[in-house]
Structure 1
Amino acid sequence: MASDSSFDVVSKLDRQEVDNAVNQTAKEIAQRYDFRGVGASVTLAGDVITMEANSAERVLAILDVLQSKLFRRGVSLKALDLGDREPKPSGKIYRLACPLKEGISQEIAKRITKAIRDEGPKGVKATIQGDEVRVSSKSRDDLQAVIALLKGLDVDAALQFVNYR
Structure 2
Amino acid sequence: MPSFDTVSEVDMHEVTNAVDQAKREMGNRWDFKKIDSNIEFKTKDEVIVLSAEQEFQLDQLYDILLMAFVKRKLDGRSLGDSEDSKAGKQVKRSYKLRQGIDKDTSRKIVKLIKEAKLKVQVAIQGEKVRVTGKKRDDLQEVMAFLREADLETPLQFDNFRD
TM-score class, shorter-chain normalisation, is over 0.9
1:34 aligns with 2:31: yes
For these two proteins, the number of residue pairs brought into alignment is: 159
Q: Does the Cα contact within 8 Å between 2:82 and 2:94 map onto a contact in 1?
A: no
**Partner amino acid for 2:160?**
Y
Alpha-carbon offset, residue 92 of structure 1: 1.3
1:119 aligned residue: 116
Q: Which stretches in structure 2 are left out of the alignment for 5+ residues? A: none
Q: Does the Cα contact within 8 Å between 1:41 and 1:51 map onto a contact in 2?
A: yes
- Bigger strand fraction: 2
2-structure distance, mates of 1:108, 1:140? 24
CA deviations 1:84-116 (Å, max 9, x no partner) are: 7xx443221111101100100000000001111
1:44 aligned residue: 41
Alpha-carbon offset, residue 79 of structure 1: 0.4
CA deviations 1:97-143 (Å, max 9, x no partner) are: 01100100000000001111111413x10000010000000011111
1-structure distance, mates of 2:160, 2:62? 35
1:151 aligns with 2:150: no
1:135 aligns with 2:131: yes
Give the TM-score normalised by structure 2.
0.94
1-structure distance, mates of 2:139, 2:9? 21
1-structure distance, mates of 2:117, 2:89? 53
1-structure distance, mates of 2:14, 2:117? 33
SS in 2 for 1:57: helix
SS in 2 for 1:37: coil
Give the TM-score normalised by structure 1.
0.92
